A and B are shown apart, each in its own frame.
Chain A
């Protein structure tokens, strides 16, 4: 026979007295927040934006900071500024091309180095050395060699993107459990079959993880190069907006670029989750 709910609620020492359930009661909000960190996170973001709004409106000199409301309102002006949409398009194009090239080149080199013990021993230290050098120091050289157009930005992006891809692919190829290779050999698999059916599928999660890191690298490389070249592209506009003390347009431009970066990162991240994991529990 079911015990009535009453006795549980009013029970001895079982917690605080039942809360009044009016919609905006602070307790209810706290409970909702407690249950969902995602909601709390959203509130934190909203709070930060409001803080930005307040600071820009009342506390900080308007030549230094614009409130988000104004930045959004004047976005259309930003896009109407001659050359801005072109610069944004060019940047996106550079990012896409640099990423595709990084993946292609990184995959080839990664497989070549990972599959051959000799190549690995010979070239991996060199690759790791290059990966660790601060490439920013040779940015002026890239511009000198490839010019101030898209080529240098793509080149610099590729130069940042290939290394994480190579390193993760090499790891993916080399980390395969020896027992799996032995099993395939015992079943009479040829070298090609071993590559196609054992090494390649094993390497796929690493490949996708590498692509995620590669995208981060490409973003860094392309944007660094863009910001450096102040005679055209994004770099021109950031310089102009800064020198003219136009924080509204500057923030607008930065926000659009940040959004671009977030979207691209998210695409690779989703791809990794969807295709880059063997179906595991």
Chain B
């Protein structure tokens, strides 16, 4: 295929994408404005836009955002610290890896969100249960990636370093850590994303504060336009955090 035809195709598919998205927005607008779709189901996009401006302008989102982000930060710090430490300790012995890795992977395959009611029983409806669940769920990708990172360093590097007389500390600092870092960083990114999702999830299901709770509250009050505004806001926050963690991961890996 010639490059000219190729370029034309690329433009055409870009066109289809934009048309598709615009088409959806148009349908949304027409549906809520002219075609009589009930505003209880589908608020007017212009109304949503107004509410969004109001939410952002008045700073109403601040307390909820603060709650969510604080829960996220604490949960992540806990899962990071415990995940990396335990992961490193397990990775020191191939036997321990063979014992614990399948176990951890197996537990992770069960949807841990199931344990939310138990955590609510323990910690109540406050931030404690969200932090606990977020930490629990994000623990697993972090520890599994840490084990994978440290445990499967190519033997040849270790042999080469030993042959050059490296001490245990030097081995860790100059061989194990740099070799394991890319995998561990990926695990941290996944852990962070998963923590955010579980915290939003637990806020939706059983909470008194936070972004997830706010959306539910507005749904129950049937304030559709404002709810949509908050959904857009929450998705934007999630997307921003994802972009930040992904680029941090990439930059750290490049070094």
A and B touch in the complex (CB under 8 A): yes
Residues of A at the B interface (CB closer than 8 Å) are: 34, 37, 40-41, 44-45, 64-65, 117-118, 121-123, 125-126, 132-134, 136-141, 143-145, 216, 219-220, 223-224, 227-228, 235, 238-239, 241-242, 245, 247, 250-251, 254, 257-258, 261-262, 265
Known: A126-B20, A227-B116, A261-B110. A144 touches B41 (CB 8 A): yes
Considering residues A126, A136, A223, A254, which has the most beta carbons from chain B within 10 angstroms of its beta carbon? A136
Query: Is B204 a contact partner of A139 (Cβ separation < 8 A)?
Result: yes
Query: Is A136 a contact partner of B13 (Cβ separation < 8 A)?
Result: no
B102 within 8 A of A: yes
Q: Shortest Cβ distance from A46 into chain B, in angstroms? A: 12
Chain B residues within 8 Å of A134, by CB: 196-197, 200, 234-235, 238
Chain B residues within 8 Å of A123, by CB: 16-17, 20
Provide the main secondary structure of the chain A interface: helix
Nearest B residue to A261, CB-CB: B110
Provide 16 A-B residue pairs closer than 8 Å at the C-beta atoms, listed in order of the A residue. A37-B98, A37-B99, A41-B102, A44-B100, A122-B14, A140-B204, A140-B216, A141-B231, A144-B219, A220-B113, A224-B201, A227-B114, A227-B116, A241-B121, A254-B115, A265-B109
Query: Is A140 a contact partner of B215 (Cβ separation < 8 A)?
Result: yes
Across the interface, A227 reaches (CB within 8 A) one of B14, B121, B205, B216, namely B205
Q: Shortest Cβ distance from A69 into chain B, in angstroms? A: 17
Query: Is A242 a contact partner of B120 (Cβ separation < 8 A)?
Result: yes
Q: Shortest Cβ distance from B78 into chain A, in angstroms? A: 19
B83 within 8 A of A: no
Query: Is A136 a contact partner of B201 (Cβ separation < 8 A)?
Result: yes
Query: Is A121 a contact partner of B117 (Cβ separation < 8 A)?
Result: no
Query: Is A262 a contact partner of B113 (Cβ separation < 8 A)?
Result: no
Instruction: Provide the bound-state CA to CA distance between A117 and B9, in Å.
Output: 9
Chain B residues within 8 Å of A45, by CB: 103
Instruction: Provide the bound-state CA to CA distance between A224 and B10, in Å.
Output: 39
Provide the main secondary structure of the chain B interface: helix
Query: Is A137 a contact partner of B231 (Cβ separation < 8 A)?
Result: yes
B34 within 8 A of A: no
Q: A-B pairs with the 3 shortest C-beta distances?
A: A121-B13, A140-B219, A37-B98
Instruction: Provide the bound-state CA to CA distance between A265 and B109, in Å.
Output: 8
Instruction: Provide the bound-state CA to CA distance between A44 and B16, in Å.
Output: 55
Instruction: Provide the bound-state CA to CA distance between A45 and B106, in Å.
Output: 12
Instruction: Provide the bound-state CA to CA distance between A33 and B250, in Å.
Output: 41
B212 within 8 A of A: yes
Nearest B residue to A45, CB-CB: B103
Query: Is B114 a contact partner of A257 (Cβ separation < 8 A)?
Result: yes
Chain A residues within 8 Å of B100, by CB: 41, 44
Query: Is B201 a contact partner of A125 (Cβ separation < 8 A)?
Result: no
Query: Is B98 a contact partner of A216 (Cβ separation < 8 A)?
Result: no
Nearest A residue to B103, CB-CB: A41
Query: Is A137 a contact partner of B196 (Cβ separation < 8 A)?
Result: no
B95 within 8 A of A: yes
Nearest A residue to B20, CB-CB: A126
Q: Shortest Cβ distance from B89 into chain A, in angstroms? A: 14
Chain B residues within 8 Å of A44, by CB: 99-100, 103
Instruction: Provide the bound-state CA to CA distance between A125 and B242, in Å.
Output: 17
B225 within 8 A of A: no
Instruction: Provide the bound-state CA to CA distance between A265 and B216, in Å.
Output: 30
Interface set, chain B 1-59, CB cutoff 8 A to A: 9-10, 12-14, 16-17, 20-21, 40-41
B77 within 8 A of A: no
Query: Is A228 a contact partner of B12 (Cβ separation < 8 A)?
Result: no
Chain A residues within 8 Å of B121, by CB: 64, 241-242, 245, 247, 250
B111 within 8 A of A: yes
Nearest B residue to A145, CB-CB: B41
Chain A residues within 8 Å of B231, by CB: 137-138, 141
Q: Shortest Cβ distance from A251 into chain B, in angstroms? A: 7
Q: Shortest Cβ distance from A55 into chain B, in angstroms? A: 12
Q: Shortest Cβ distance from A32 into chain B, in angstroms? A: 13
Given contacts A122-B14, A228-B204, 4 further A-B contacts (CB under 8 A): A138-B231, A247-B118, A251-B118, A257-B114
